[in-house]
Structure 1
Amino acid sequence: MSLTKSLNNRERGYEFSATEYDLIFENEDIGFVRYDKRSRRRFYLDPSPFLKTPKNEVYVIENGDFPKEGECVKVASYESEHKVLGTRTSFRKLNVKYVSRWDKISPNKFIHRESLDPEEYIEYFKIPFMHTEDYIEPLSFCLALCTMSSPVIGSNGKGGIDSAVLTAKKKHWNEFKRLMQVIPPDFKKTKSEYYFNQLDTEKKLNPSRSKEVNLSVSNPKELSVHVPMALVEEIEFKKPLQYKETLYYEAPLMRAKMLDALLFEPEISEKTNKHVRDKIYEVRDAFVAANAVNYSQDIGTTPSKISSAFARLKFKDKVAPEYVDECVDLWMDMFHYSSRIDIPNLSRSGKDKLSAEAQRAYDELKDTFGTRVSFSIAEVPKHVTIDHWLIEYAIDELKRKGAAYSPTNDVVEILDY
């Protein structure tokens, strides 16, 4: 398989995700809504957001409510008709179904098989390495999580996981990029809902059409990331000819797993949220206590982002407390290894302190609501005296530095700092 092959050019059964296979071959009138550009009353049902339907059928709603673009629905029709479109020499048959009702359903119920289990998926990322030293295990786990992305919203207003690829060797960075070719090229386009990119040099990217943005940056200095990916000096890679064929052979199964995983939107319960808060303190304490750091850490969203990615890897609808534990332990390992990378450290001067505006907002919100109490973000302007145009930046800084946490997109709570 060519790793540059688009998701639109899949024909063999093993290239389809479990959801796609089920909705193409084993179910009728179920799929993801894609409206006909010529009419808002006509739509197709695709087997996934990543593949247009191969079936020659279209659905028509003459009155009533309309499903949203991209929703997974089950449709009942009261009538159908066959139309022949085109000319005598070039024509196709189209089955037109008139909708009597539709119901929104979870696409995850159609995953009756996994192309790979979580351990097999992680094993893929060990293939290029010459040896299996202790640091290869957490590194391969990190690589796997970063390909899962995350639905948890960050300071850029999007889901996703940002990573710092820390290395003193250019060839290590090149090997990392080769391994990340398992990500479909479709996801490297700015119009993709799920955007992934590996950046040689640091720059701001936040595609407007993407709901999840994942950036891996070589030795970033400004971007606050969620995961430090430490490629320590003693890591040895095999020669590409020794492993490229294996990567290509297994890539369809990896992509199939990834496509199914991205359909999961794992929820974080209040019980798990309490756990997340405690882990924010652990991440913050470890980062602040370090004598030197060579990257900038987004503290407040890291536990929830990487644990929700882990839930996706396991095809789970909910984030369990033990996922948070395991992922923060993983972060601790990678943070430890990051200190071994021989690249310039960042100045610690002011890194642990809040800006004047963020500090004032913190003090005023803490006086009003106390700590570890959720309140609506819409309430913030009523209780702070900083300029309104600075409020969003101040809240983002509080979350980034571990002084605040957002259990959901529309609420925030102040943490002890």
Structure 2
Amino acid sequence: MWRGRPRSWALGAGVGGGPRAQSALAQLRARLEGQLEAIRGAGRWKSERILTSKQGPRVSVEGRPGVILNFCANNYLGLSSHPEVIQAGLKVLEQFGAGLSSVRFICGTQSIHKALEEKIADFHQREDAILYPSCFDANAGLFEALLTPEDAVLSDELNHASIIDGIRLCKANKYRYGHLDMGDLEAKLREAQKHRLRLVATDGVFSMDGDIAPLREICQLAQKYKAVVFIDECHATGFLGPSGRGTDELLGVMDQVTIINSTLGKALGGASGGYTTGPRDLISLLRQQARPYLFSNSLPPAVVGCASKALDLLMESDAIAQSMAAKTLQFRSKMEAAGFTISGTEHPICPVMLGDARLASVMAEDMLKRGIYVIGFSYPVVPKGKARIRVQISAVHSEEDIDRCVEAFVEVGRQHGAIP
């Protein structure tokens, strides 16, 4: 059928010649170039640094000599390069192959998928769990499957983009309450009483600011107004709480939070994958109706093996998770003593607030020259005027690593006038 067609036709030039299509392409290029130049001009350009090593507290960066201290990965427990985690992945890869070439309900469920879901539910002390390719997919799948136009969802205004996008996909009545503002949440819950089901949705830990949701107060309000509580635990699973179960364990409300979404791509091995855990009937509904689950390939076996071993290590001992608190305090206290403003409290996410996007970008580059890998965050990742360098402490950072990072920040900060 394609034989004899002009090449320009196959490329989309259109019937009757290509000038009009080429003109449209030229217009598109001009618009894109303008947008990209505006991003560069505002100091918000996000370059991707290339690692030539495993993820870890020390990495090799293409074009940079020597070993670089890494302070911006979500590798909270250092398990992404843990030898037992790697060996577990290799073993499963050999036994179960590279992938399933299918979605779960067609030809893509293996025994290891079911075993990991059972392990996740047991870890969170919930009835059941369902795996997704990422927690972004878990958030995209939950709200549309669960909520109807008869229902309401109440969302913290600083919730992660994946929660916001997931809520946009559903037809529920949408309420947004002020960040951590329990008075505003209560007012919105009162207003939402006319709806059948009320779901309060919040990050357990807000990844850009390192602050922790007031789950005790949220659960009290949910009980008062007969609402269901959902939390995204991506930046809490594995290391918050006495045994690393997360924000609900930390604040003593594990029996009051109904639905948890989280990730396997941060503390639990660092590869990819996400999940929902909660009531068995909800998980069954998601298997039937959650579009990211129904239309995405199964989680690769090696990822399943790595995550399963990471959970085993965590459930065997909480020693790794508990080492986080002292190291986090060390960094926060020394940076604040030097004159920096650190957002959040008592969490290994330590945003160094700078305000100006260009300053954050330039300081991050100068930190790399001193052997410290950090990244500047600016709009649209964070609000305009709230640019920062987000530092993340890992259990496998040594005290000497942390001191070296602080020293580099002080030197670069003074150079650029960020501190006296």
TM bracket (short chain): under 0.3
TM-score, with structure 1 as normaliser: 0.23
Query: By percentage of residues, which structure has more helix?
Result: 2
TM-score, with structure 2 as normaliser: 0.23
